[in-house]
Structure 1
Amino acid sequence: MPQTTEPADHPAGPVHRFAEIPEGRIHFVEQGTGPVVLLVHGFPESWYSWRHQLAALAAAGYRAVAIDVRGYGRSSKPSEVSAYRMLAHVADNVAVLRALGAETAIIAGHDWGAPIAAHSALLRPDLFTAVALLSVPYAPHGATRPTEAFARLGGDEEFYISYFQQPGRAEAEIEPDVRGWLAGVYAGLSGEAKPAADDQDGNGLTRMTVPRGGKLSDRFPADTTLPSWLTEADLDYYTGEFERSGLTGALNRYRNVDRDWADLAAWQGAPITRPALFIGGDRDAPTHWMADAIKAFPVTLPALSGSHIIEGCGHWVQQERPDEVNRLLIDWLHGLPA
Protein backbone atom coordinates (compact mmCIF):
# COMPACT_ATOMS: atom_id res chain seq x y z
CA MET A 1 0.00 0.00 0.00
CA PRO A 2 1.18 3.60 -0.56
CA GLN A 3 2.65 5.27 2.49
CA THR A 4 2.26 8.83 3.70
CA THR A 5 5.72 10.01 4.77
CA GLU A 6 5.09 13.68 5.48
CA PRO A 7 1.95 15.23 6.96
CA ALA A 8 0.15 17.86 4.94
CA ASP A 9 0.67 21.40 6.14
CA HIS A 10 -3.12 21.59 6.25
CA PRO A 11 -5.85 19.18 5.15
CA ALA A 12 -5.77 20.42 1.54
CA GLY A 13 -1.97 20.66 1.34
CA PRO A 14 0.48 18.46 -0.57
CA VAL A 15 1.19 14.95 0.69
CA HIS A 16 4.28 12.86 -0.12
CA ARG A 17 3.64 9.17 -0.81
CA PHE A 18 5.14 6.14 -2.53
CA ALA A 19 3.91 3.52 -4.99
CA GLU A 20 5.50 0.09 -5.07
CA ILE A 21 7.10 -1.12 -8.31
CA PRO A 22 9.10 -4.33 -8.91
CA GLU A 23 12.36 -2.35 -8.73
CA GLY A 24 11.40 -0.52 -5.53
CA ARG A 25 9.23 2.57 -5.38
CA ILE A 26 8.03 5.71 -7.14
CA HIS A 27 7.78 8.82 -5.00
CA PHE A 28 4.93 11.20 -5.72
CA VAL A 29 3.31 14.31 -4.27
CA GLU A 30 -0.45 14.75 -4.43
CA GLN A 31 -2.84 17.57 -3.64
CA GLY A 32 -6.58 17.95 -4.01
CA THR A 33 -9.50 15.67 -4.73
CA GLY A 34 -11.34 14.81 -7.90
CA PRO A 35 -10.24 13.33 -11.24
CA VAL A 36 -6.53 12.43 -11.21
CA VAL A 37 -4.11 14.55 -13.22
CA LEU A 38 -0.73 12.77 -13.29
CA LEU A 39 2.23 15.13 -13.86
CA VAL A 40 5.50 13.75 -15.28
CA HIS A 41 8.66 15.88 -15.25
CA GLY A 42 11.67 15.93 -17.55
CA PHE A 43 15.46 16.32 -17.36
CA PRO A 44 17.05 17.57 -15.15
CA GLU A 45 14.11 18.18 -12.84
CA SER A 46 11.82 16.45 -10.31
CA TRP A 47 8.25 16.49 -9.01
CA TYR A 48 9.13 20.01 -7.83
CA SER A 49 8.95 21.23 -11.44
CA TRP A 50 5.15 21.10 -11.05
CA ARG A 51 5.09 23.09 -7.77
CA HIS A 52 3.06 25.88 -9.39
CA GLN A 53 0.50 23.47 -10.84
CA LEU A 54 -0.32 21.31 -7.80
CA ALA A 55 -2.29 23.90 -5.83
CA ALA A 56 -3.88 25.43 -8.94
CA LEU A 57 -5.16 22.08 -10.18
CA ALA A 58 -6.37 21.15 -6.69
CA ALA A 59 -8.27 24.44 -6.45
CA ALA A 60 -9.85 23.73 -9.84
CA GLY A 61 -11.28 20.43 -8.59
CA TYR A 62 -8.60 17.90 -9.52
CA ARG A 63 -6.38 15.45 -7.69
CA ALA A 64 -2.96 16.62 -8.89
CA VAL A 65 -0.17 14.04 -8.61
CA ALA A 66 3.45 14.90 -9.48
CA ILE A 67 5.90 12.00 -9.57
CA ASP A 68 9.65 11.65 -9.27
CA VAL A 69 10.42 9.66 -12.43
CA ARG A 70 12.48 6.54 -11.70
CA GLY A 71 16.13 7.54 -11.36
CA TYR A 72 15.23 10.88 -9.77
CA GLY A 73 14.73 12.24 -6.27
CA ARG A 74 13.23 9.79 -3.82
CA SER A 75 12.18 7.22 -6.42
CA SER A 76 14.20 4.05 -6.93
CA LYS A 77 17.26 4.05 -9.16
CA PRO A 78 17.81 0.62 -10.73
CA SER A 79 21.40 -0.04 -11.79
CA GLU A 80 20.73 -1.55 -15.22
CA VAL A 81 20.53 0.91 -18.11
CA SER A 82 17.72 -1.13 -19.65
CA ALA A 83 15.59 -0.50 -16.55
CA TYR A 84 14.91 2.99 -17.92
CA ARG A 85 13.25 1.93 -21.18
CA MET A 86 9.96 3.59 -22.10
CA LEU A 87 7.94 0.49 -21.25
CA ALA A 88 9.22 0.68 -17.66
CA HIS A 89 8.18 4.32 -17.32
CA VAL A 90 4.69 3.55 -18.60
CA ALA A 91 4.48 0.68 -16.09
CA ASP A 92 5.52 3.09 -13.31
CA ASN A 93 2.66 5.42 -14.19
CA VAL A 94 0.26 2.50 -14.05
CA ALA A 95 1.65 1.58 -10.61
CA VAL A 96 1.08 5.11 -9.33
CA LEU A 97 -2.48 5.02 -10.62
CA ARG A 98 -3.05 1.73 -8.77
CA ALA A 99 -1.54 3.14 -5.57
CA LEU A 100 -3.94 6.07 -5.79
CA GLY A 101 -6.86 3.67 -6.04
CA ALA A 102 -7.96 5.42 -9.22
CA GLU A 103 -9.33 3.73 -12.32
CA THR A 104 -8.18 6.37 -14.81
CA ALA A 105 -6.10 9.54 -15.04
CA ILE A 106 -5.41 12.45 -17.30
CA ILE A 107 -1.65 12.63 -17.86
CA ALA A 108 0.60 15.59 -18.56
CA GLY A 109 4.33 15.60 -19.23
CA HIS A 110 7.12 18.10 -19.84
CA ASP A 111 10.41 17.49 -21.69
CA TRP A 112 11.14 13.72 -21.36
CA GLY A 113 7.93 13.54 -19.39
CA ALA A 114 6.04 14.44 -22.59
CA PRO A 115 7.07 11.27 -24.49
CA ILE A 116 6.45 9.25 -21.31
CA ALA A 117 2.97 10.75 -21.03
CA ALA A 118 2.34 10.28 -24.76
CA HIS A 119 3.31 6.61 -24.68
CA SER A 120 1.23 6.05 -21.58
CA ALA A 121 -1.81 7.28 -23.51
CA LEU A 122 -0.75 5.34 -26.61
CA LEU A 123 -0.15 2.01 -24.87
CA ARG A 124 -2.78 2.24 -22.11
CA PRO A 125 -5.63 4.40 -23.44
CA ASP A 126 -7.93 2.48 -21.12
CA LEU A 127 -6.17 4.07 -18.14
CA PHE A 128 -4.86 7.40 -19.46
CA THR A 129 -7.87 9.08 -20.98
CA ALA A 130 -6.32 12.39 -22.12
CA VAL A 131 -2.77 13.71 -22.54
CA ALA A 132 -1.14 17.14 -22.31
CA LEU A 133 2.35 17.57 -23.76
CA LEU A 134 4.61 20.45 -22.76
CA SER A 135 7.69 21.45 -24.78
CA VAL A 136 8.16 18.15 -26.68
CA PRO A 137 5.49 17.32 -29.29
CA TYR A 138 4.37 13.78 -30.00
CA ALA A 139 6.32 12.10 -32.79
CA PRO A 140 5.24 8.53 -33.62
CA HIS A 141 7.73 5.69 -33.97
CA GLY A 142 9.53 6.10 -37.28
CA ALA A 143 11.69 4.10 -39.65
CA THR A 144 15.02 5.68 -38.64
CA ARG A 145 17.01 4.48 -35.63
CA PRO A 146 17.00 7.39 -33.15
CA THR A 147 20.75 7.53 -32.54
CA GLU A 148 21.28 7.83 -36.30
CA ALA A 149 18.78 10.68 -36.51
CA PHE A 150 20.37 12.50 -33.57
CA ALA A 151 23.85 12.10 -35.07
CA ARG A 152 22.64 13.87 -38.22
CA LEU A 153 20.91 16.58 -36.19
CA GLY A 154 24.19 17.52 -34.55
CA GLY A 155 25.86 18.28 -37.86
CA ASP A 156 29.54 19.12 -37.38
CA GLU A 157 29.07 19.00 -33.62
CA GLU A 158 27.57 16.39 -31.30
CA PHE A 159 23.88 16.60 -30.47
CA TYR A 160 23.33 16.52 -26.72
CA ILE A 161 21.44 13.21 -26.80
CA SER A 162 24.39 11.64 -28.62
CA TYR A 163 26.70 13.13 -25.99
CA PHE A 164 24.63 11.51 -23.24
CA GLN A 165 24.83 7.98 -24.70
CA GLN A 166 28.13 6.84 -23.17
CA PRO A 167 27.66 5.92 -19.49
CA GLY A 168 29.76 8.08 -17.21
CA ARG A 169 30.67 10.74 -19.76
CA ALA A 170 28.07 13.37 -18.90
CA GLU A 171 28.20 12.39 -15.23
CA ALA A 172 31.90 13.31 -15.20
CA GLU A 173 30.99 16.78 -16.46
CA ILE A 174 28.04 17.42 -14.16
CA GLU A 175 28.70 15.82 -10.80
CA PRO A 176 31.80 17.80 -9.70
CA ASP A 177 29.63 20.96 -9.63
CA VAL A 178 25.98 19.99 -9.71
CA ARG A 179 24.69 23.38 -8.67
CA GLY A 180 26.76 25.26 -11.22
CA TRP A 181 25.80 22.91 -14.04
CA LEU A 182 22.10 23.08 -13.21
CA ALA A 183 22.25 26.88 -13.03
CA GLY A 184 23.84 26.88 -16.48
CA VAL A 185 21.31 24.60 -18.13
CA TYR A 186 18.30 26.31 -16.53
CA ALA A 187 19.56 29.76 -17.51
CA GLY A 188 20.74 28.71 -20.98
CA LEU A 189 17.43 27.18 -22.03
CA SER A 190 15.25 29.86 -20.44
CA GLY A 191 13.28 32.26 -22.57
CA GLU A 192 15.19 35.06 -20.84
CA ALA A 193 18.56 33.88 -22.17
CA LYS A 194 20.27 35.89 -24.87
CA PRO A 195 20.56 33.93 -28.14
CA ALA A 196 23.92 32.23 -28.64
CA ALA A 197 26.26 34.24 -30.85
CA ASP A 198 26.33 31.48 -33.48
CA ASP A 199 22.57 30.79 -33.43
CA GLN A 200 22.07 32.27 -36.87
CA ASP A 201 18.96 30.19 -37.61
CA GLY A 202 17.26 31.20 -34.38
CA ASN A 203 16.29 27.62 -33.58
CA GLY A 204 18.23 27.25 -30.33
CA LEU A 205 20.12 24.19 -31.54
CA THR A 206 23.49 25.66 -30.71
CA ARG A 207 22.57 25.35 -27.02
CA MET A 208 21.88 21.64 -27.64
CA THR A 209 25.15 20.61 -29.29
CA VAL A 210 28.61 19.86 -27.95
CA PRO A 211 31.83 20.93 -29.66
CA ARG A 212 33.91 17.93 -30.67
CA GLY A 213 35.99 16.96 -27.64
CA GLY A 214 34.13 19.46 -25.49
CA LYS A 215 31.36 19.50 -22.90
CA LEU A 216 27.73 20.55 -23.00
CA SER A 217 28.51 23.30 -20.50
CA ASP A 218 30.76 24.88 -23.13
CA ARG A 219 27.47 26.00 -24.68
CA PHE A 220 26.08 27.59 -21.52
CA PRO A 221 25.85 31.40 -21.53
CA ALA A 222 28.72 33.25 -19.90
CA ASP A 223 26.22 34.95 -17.60
CA THR A 224 24.39 32.25 -15.65
CA THR A 225 22.47 34.68 -13.45
CA LEU A 226 19.33 32.87 -12.44
CA PRO A 227 16.28 33.72 -14.54
CA SER A 228 13.46 35.56 -12.81
CA TRP A 229 11.31 32.44 -12.52
CA LEU A 230 13.95 30.45 -10.58
CA THR A 231 14.89 31.42 -7.04
CA GLU A 232 18.04 30.49 -5.16
CA ALA A 233 15.83 28.27 -2.97
CA ASP A 234 14.47 26.51 -6.07
CA LEU A 235 18.00 25.86 -7.31
CA ASP A 236 18.99 24.64 -3.85
CA TYR A 237 16.15 22.11 -3.95
CA TYR A 238 17.14 20.71 -7.33
CA THR A 239 20.80 20.66 -6.35
CA GLY A 240 20.10 18.73 -3.18
CA GLU A 241 18.07 16.13 -5.07
CA PHE A 242 20.80 15.48 -7.64
CA GLU A 243 23.67 15.61 -5.16
CA ARG A 244 21.95 12.79 -3.28
CA SER A 245 20.86 10.74 -6.28
CA GLY A 246 23.59 11.39 -8.82
CA LEU A 247 22.78 11.85 -12.50
CA THR A 248 23.11 8.31 -13.86
CA GLY A 249 19.49 7.25 -13.42
CA ALA A 250 18.26 10.44 -15.07
CA LEU A 251 20.71 10.12 -17.97
CA ASN A 252 19.85 6.46 -18.51
CA ARG A 253 16.54 7.57 -20.05
CA TYR A 254 18.54 8.94 -23.00
CA ARG A 255 20.51 5.70 -23.24
CA ASN A 256 17.36 3.75 -24.11
CA VAL A 257 16.26 5.57 -27.25
CA ASP A 258 17.29 2.72 -29.56
CA ARG A 259 15.90 0.11 -27.17
CA ASP A 260 12.57 2.00 -27.17
CA TRP A 261 12.66 2.04 -30.97
CA ALA A 262 12.90 -1.76 -30.98
CA ASP A 263 10.35 -2.24 -28.19
CA LEU A 264 7.76 -0.04 -29.89
CA ALA A 265 8.18 -1.19 -33.48
CA ALA A 266 4.61 -2.48 -33.58
CA TRP A 267 3.35 1.09 -33.07
CA GLN A 268 5.18 2.62 -36.04
CA GLY A 269 3.27 5.69 -37.17
CA ALA A 270 0.50 5.11 -34.62
CA PRO A 271 -1.58 8.15 -33.65
CA ILE A 272 -2.74 8.93 -30.12
CA THR A 273 -6.51 9.00 -30.29
CA ARG A 274 -7.19 10.33 -26.80
CA PRO A 275 -7.97 14.05 -26.29
CA ALA A 276 -4.72 16.01 -26.35
CA LEU A 277 -3.17 19.41 -25.66
CA PHE A 278 0.23 20.86 -26.62
CA ILE A 279 1.98 23.82 -25.01
CA GLY A 280 5.40 25.03 -26.14
CA GLY A 281 7.56 28.14 -26.08
CA ASP A 282 8.61 30.12 -29.11
CA ARG A 283 12.14 30.33 -27.65
CA ASP A 284 12.35 26.60 -26.93
CA ALA A 285 14.56 24.55 -29.27
CA PRO A 286 12.16 21.56 -29.65
CA THR A 287 9.48 23.93 -30.96
CA HIS A 288 11.84 24.55 -33.89
CA TRP A 289 13.69 21.29 -34.50
CA MET A 290 10.46 19.33 -34.07
CA ALA A 291 8.36 21.75 -36.13
CA ASP A 292 7.39 18.96 -38.54
CA ALA A 293 5.95 16.96 -35.63
CA ILE A 294 3.80 19.94 -34.65
CA LYS A 295 2.59 20.33 -38.24
CA ALA A 296 1.64 16.64 -38.26
CA PHE A 297 -0.69 16.93 -35.24
CA PRO A 298 -3.89 16.63 -37.35
CA VAL A 299 -2.72 13.10 -38.20
CA THR A 300 -0.76 12.09 -35.10
CA LEU A 301 -3.07 13.70 -32.50
CA PRO A 302 -6.49 13.62 -34.21
CA ALA A 303 -8.29 14.56 -30.96
CA LEU A 304 -6.04 17.57 -30.27
CA SER A 305 -8.11 20.44 -28.91
CA GLY A 306 -5.38 23.05 -28.60
CA SER A 307 -1.78 23.77 -29.65
CA HIS A 308 -0.30 26.83 -27.96
CA ILE A 309 3.11 28.43 -28.49
CA ILE A 310 3.81 30.97 -25.74
CA GLU A 311 5.66 34.05 -26.91
CA GLY A 312 8.99 34.71 -25.23
CA CYS A 313 8.92 31.40 -23.35
CA GLY A 314 11.85 29.00 -23.28
CA HIS A 315 12.12 25.34 -22.38
CA TRP A 316 10.92 25.32 -18.75
CA VAL A 317 7.36 26.09 -19.78
CA GLN A 318 5.31 25.41 -16.64
CA GLN A 319 7.92 27.09 -14.42
CA GLU A 320 8.54 30.11 -16.67
CA ARG A 321 4.87 30.85 -17.31
CA PRO A 322 2.92 29.14 -14.51
CA ASP A 323 -0.18 31.33 -14.64
CA GLU A 324 -0.57 30.97 -18.40
CA VAL A 325 0.11 27.24 -18.34
CA ASN A 326 -2.31 26.75 -15.46
CA ARG A 327 -5.03 28.60 -17.33
CA LEU A 328 -4.47 26.58 -20.51
CA LEU A 329 -4.39 23.29 -18.61
CA ILE A 330 -7.46 24.00 -16.51
CA ASP A 331 -9.51 25.31 -19.44
CA TRP A 332 -8.60 22.17 -21.38
CA LEU A 333 -9.39 19.90 -18.43
CA HIS A 334 -12.77 21.54 -17.92
CA GLY A 335 -13.58 20.92 -21.58
CA LEU A 336 -12.83 17.19 -21.51
CA PRO A 337 -15.71 14.70 -21.71
CA ALA A 338 -17.01 13.74 -18.29
Structure 2
Amino acid sequence: MGNSQEPGVAEKEFAPAHARHLMTRILSDRFSERAAGKEPKDGGDDDAEALPPWLTEADIDYFAAAFEKTGFTGAINYYRNMDRNWELAAPWADAKVAVPTKFIVGDGDLTYHYAGIQDYLHKGGLKADVPLLEELVVVPGAGHFIQQERAQEVSDHIHDFIAKF
Protein backbone atom coordinates (compact mmCIF):
# COMPACT_ATOMS: atom_id res chain seq x y z
CA MET A 1 0.00 0.00 0.00
CA GLY A 2 1.36 3.43 -0.89
CA ASN A 3 1.75 6.46 1.29
CA SER A 4 -1.81 7.68 1.89
CA GLN A 5 -0.56 11.27 2.11
CA GLU A 6 0.54 11.23 -1.53
CA PRO A 7 -2.13 12.97 -3.62
CA GLY A 8 -4.34 10.42 -5.31
CA VAL A 9 -3.32 7.34 -3.30
CA ALA A 10 -5.89 7.74 -0.53
CA GLU A 11 -8.50 8.96 -3.00
CA LYS A 12 -8.21 5.65 -4.84
CA GLU A 13 -8.63 3.64 -1.64
CA PHE A 14 -11.44 5.92 -0.46
CA ALA A 15 -13.13 6.33 -3.83
CA PRO A 16 -16.77 7.48 -3.80
CA ALA A 17 -17.69 4.19 -5.49
CA HIS A 18 -16.62 2.40 -2.28
CA ALA A 19 -18.62 4.71 0.01
CA ARG A 20 -21.20 2.12 1.10
CA HIS A 21 -18.56 -0.48 1.97
CA LEU A 22 -16.36 2.09 3.74
CA MET A 23 -19.21 3.59 5.78
CA THR A 24 -20.40 0.13 6.80
CA ARG A 25 -16.89 -0.76 8.04
CA ILE A 26 -16.26 2.60 9.73
CA LEU A 27 -19.61 2.77 11.51
CA SER A 28 -19.67 -0.91 12.50
CA ASP A 29 -16.07 -1.21 13.70
CA ARG A 30 -15.36 -2.40 17.23
CA PHE A 31 -11.72 -2.28 18.26
CA SER A 32 -12.40 -4.53 21.24
CA GLU A 33 -13.81 -7.24 18.95
CA ARG A 34 -10.82 -7.08 16.60
CA ALA A 35 -8.42 -7.10 19.55
CA ALA A 36 -10.17 -10.21 20.84
CA GLY A 37 -9.50 -11.94 17.51
CA LYS A 38 -13.11 -12.08 16.32
CA GLU A 39 -13.30 -12.47 12.55
CA PRO A 40 -16.23 -11.66 10.27
CA LYS A 41 -18.66 -14.57 10.35
CA ASP A 42 -18.62 -15.09 6.60
CA GLY A 43 -14.87 -15.14 6.19
CA GLY A 44 -14.19 -11.51 5.40
CA ASP A 45 -16.97 -9.64 3.58
CA ASP A 46 -17.72 -6.93 6.12
CA ASP A 47 -20.82 -5.74 4.27
CA ALA A 48 -22.42 -9.18 4.53
CA GLU A 49 -22.27 -9.13 8.34
CA ALA A 50 -25.34 -8.01 10.21
CA LEU A 51 -25.26 -4.36 11.22
CA PRO A 52 -25.18 -3.58 14.92
CA PRO A 53 -28.67 -2.95 16.35
CA TRP A 54 -28.19 0.83 16.54
CA LEU A 55 -27.28 1.14 12.85
CA THR A 56 -29.79 0.68 10.04
CA GLU A 57 -29.50 0.17 6.31
CA ALA A 58 -31.13 3.62 5.96
CA ASP A 59 -28.27 5.12 8.03
CA ILE A 60 -25.69 3.48 5.77
CA ASP A 61 -27.62 4.63 2.68
CA TYR A 62 -27.62 8.22 3.98
CA PHE A 63 -23.88 8.40 4.67
CA ALA A 64 -22.97 6.45 1.54
CA ALA A 65 -25.04 8.81 -0.65
CA ALA A 66 -23.35 11.84 0.91
CA PHE A 67 -19.84 10.49 0.35
CA GLU A 68 -20.70 9.18 -3.13
CA LYS A 69 -21.55 12.80 -3.97
CA THR A 70 -18.63 14.57 -2.22
CA GLY A 71 -15.97 11.88 -1.96
CA PHE A 72 -13.65 11.55 1.03
CA THR A 73 -11.03 14.13 0.03
CA GLY A 74 -12.16 16.70 2.62
CA ALA A 75 -11.76 14.21 5.44
CA ILE A 76 -8.48 12.93 4.03
CA ASN A 77 -7.14 16.49 3.79
CA TYR A 78 -7.74 17.02 7.50
CA TYR A 79 -5.20 14.27 8.21
CA ARG A 80 -2.83 15.51 5.52
CA ASN A 81 -2.88 18.87 7.31
CA MET A 82 -2.27 17.47 10.81
CA ASP A 83 1.08 19.21 11.34
CA ARG A 84 -0.44 22.58 10.39
CA ASN A 85 -3.43 21.95 12.66
CA TRP A 86 -1.03 21.45 15.58
CA GLU A 87 0.86 24.62 14.65
CA LEU A 88 -2.37 26.64 14.57
CA ALA A 89 -3.47 25.23 17.94
CA ALA A 90 -0.06 25.80 19.59
CA PRO A 91 -1.13 28.91 21.56
CA TRP A 92 -3.56 26.72 23.50
CA ALA A 93 -1.26 23.72 23.97
CA ASP A 94 -1.01 24.13 27.74
CA ALA A 95 -4.52 25.48 28.28
CA LYS A 96 -6.68 23.74 30.86
CA VAL A 97 -10.34 22.94 30.34
CA ALA A 98 -11.77 25.17 33.05
CA VAL A 99 -15.42 24.12 33.13
CA PRO A 100 -17.11 21.21 34.89
CA THR A 101 -16.69 18.14 32.69
CA LYS A 102 -17.89 14.57 32.36
CA PHE A 103 -15.95 12.41 29.88
CA ILE A 104 -17.69 9.43 28.26
CA VAL A 105 -15.94 6.86 26.05
CA GLY A 106 -16.73 3.36 24.81
CA ASP A 107 -14.28 0.59 25.65
CA GLY A 108 -14.50 -0.49 22.01
CA ASP A 109 -13.47 2.94 20.68
CA LEU A 110 -10.21 2.67 18.76
CA THR A 111 -9.03 5.94 20.32
CA TYR A 112 -9.43 4.42 23.80
CA HIS A 113 -6.78 1.88 22.80
CA TYR A 114 -4.13 4.28 21.46
CA ALA A 115 -0.79 3.80 23.20
CA GLY A 116 -0.77 5.53 26.59
CA ILE A 117 -4.36 6.81 26.45
CA GLN A 118 -5.77 4.60 29.20
CA ASP A 119 -2.93 5.59 31.53
CA TYR A 120 -3.56 9.25 30.64
CA LEU A 121 -7.29 8.91 31.30
CA HIS A 122 -7.19 6.79 34.43
CA LYS A 123 -3.94 7.79 36.14
CA GLY A 124 -4.33 11.54 36.44
CA GLY A 125 -3.30 13.01 33.09
CA LEU A 126 -6.82 13.94 32.03
CA LYS A 127 -7.60 15.33 35.48
CA ALA A 128 -4.46 17.48 35.31
CA ASP A 129 -5.60 18.95 31.98
CA VAL A 130 -9.26 19.13 33.00
CA PRO A 131 -9.14 20.18 36.67
CA LEU A 132 -12.94 20.28 36.98
CA LEU A 133 -13.35 16.75 35.62
CA GLU A 134 -16.13 15.28 37.71
CA GLU A 135 -16.42 11.84 36.18
CA LEU A 136 -14.85 9.56 33.59
CA VAL A 137 -17.29 6.97 32.24
CA VAL A 138 -16.13 3.98 30.19
CA VAL A 139 -19.11 2.24 28.60
CA PRO A 140 -18.53 -1.49 28.07
CA GLY A 141 -19.18 -2.76 24.55
CA ALA A 142 -19.61 0.68 22.99
CA GLY A 143 -17.43 1.99 20.19
CA HIS A 144 -16.55 5.36 18.67
CA PHE A 145 -20.12 6.34 17.79
CA ILE A 146 -21.28 5.99 21.39
CA GLN A 147 -23.93 8.72 21.13
CA GLN A 148 -25.68 6.59 18.50
CA GLU A 149 -24.84 3.15 19.86
CA ARG A 150 -26.00 3.92 23.37
CA ALA A 151 -28.21 6.95 22.78
CA GLN A 152 -30.35 6.61 25.91
CA GLU A 153 -27.42 5.82 28.20
CA VAL A 154 -25.40 8.78 26.90
CA SER A 155 -28.45 11.06 27.10
CA ASP A 156 -29.00 9.97 30.71
CA HIS A 157 -25.36 10.74 31.55
CA ILE A 158 -25.64 14.18 29.96
CA HIS A 159 -28.97 14.93 31.64
CA ASP A 160 -27.74 13.84 35.05
CA PHE A 161 -24.62 15.96 34.61
CA ILE A 162 -26.33 19.20 33.55
CA ALA A 163 -29.35 18.83 35.85
CA LYS A 164 -27.22 19.89 38.82
CA PHE A 165 -26.39 23.31 37.32
Instruction: Report the TM-score when normalising by structure 1.
Output: 0.41
Aligned to 1:283, which of 108, 128, 134?
108
- Retained in 2: the 8 A contact 1:278–1:308? yes
Name the counterpart of 1:313. 142
Q: Write the mapping of 1:326-337 to structure 2, written as runs, cut at 5 A.
A: 326-336=155-165
TM-align CA RMSD: 2.4
1:250 aligns with 2:102: no
Distance change >3 Å, CA 194–CA 291, structure 1 → 2:
closer
Amino acid aligned to 1:304: L
Aligned to 2:121, which of 285, 291, 294?
294
Aligned to 1:182, which of 19, 23, 29?
23
Report the structure, 1 or 2, having the larger strand content: 1
Shift of 1:279: 0.7
Distance 2:128 2:29 in 1: 33
Distance 2:6 2:102 in 1: 34
Shift of 1:298: 1.5
- Cα deviations by residue, 1:132-160 (Å, 9 ceiling, x for unpaired): xxxxxxxxxxxxxxxxxxxxxxxxxx9xx
Distance change >3 Å, CA 164–CA 320, structure 1 → 2:
farther
Name the counterpart of 1:197. 37
- Cα deviations by residue, 1:101-159 (Å, 9 ceiling, x for unpaired): xxxxxxxxxxxxxxxxxxxxxxxxxxxxxxxxxxxxxxxxxxxxxxxxxxxxxxxxx9x
- Retained in 1: the 8 A contact 2:28–2:52? yes
Name the counterpart of 2:41. none
Name the counterpart of 1:169. 9
1:324 aligns with 2:153: yes
SS at match of 2:81: helix
Report the structure, 1 or 2, having the larger helix content: 2
Shift of 1:321: 0.7
Amino acid aligned to 2:142: C
- Retained in 2: the 8 A contact 1:190–1:315? no
SS at match of 1:253: helix
Shift of 1:266: 2.5
- Retained in 1: the 8 A contact 2:24–2:46? no
Shift of 1:310: 0.3
- Tell me: higher relative CO, structure 1 or 2? Use CA pairs within 8 A at least 6 residues apart: 2
Distance 2:11 2:152 in 1: 34
Distance 2:30 2:12 in 1: 21
Shift of 1:184: 1.8
Amino acid aligned to 1:266: P
Amino acid aligned to 1:187: S
| 4+ residue runs over 6 A deviation | none
Identity level (%): 36
Distance change >3 Å, CA 283–CA 171, structure 1 → 2:
same
Q: Write the mapping of 1:90-109 to structure 2, written as runs, cut at 5 A.
A: none
Distance change >3 Å, CA 179–CA 223, structure 1 → 2:
closer
Instruction: Report the TM-score when normalising by structure 2.
Output: 0.79
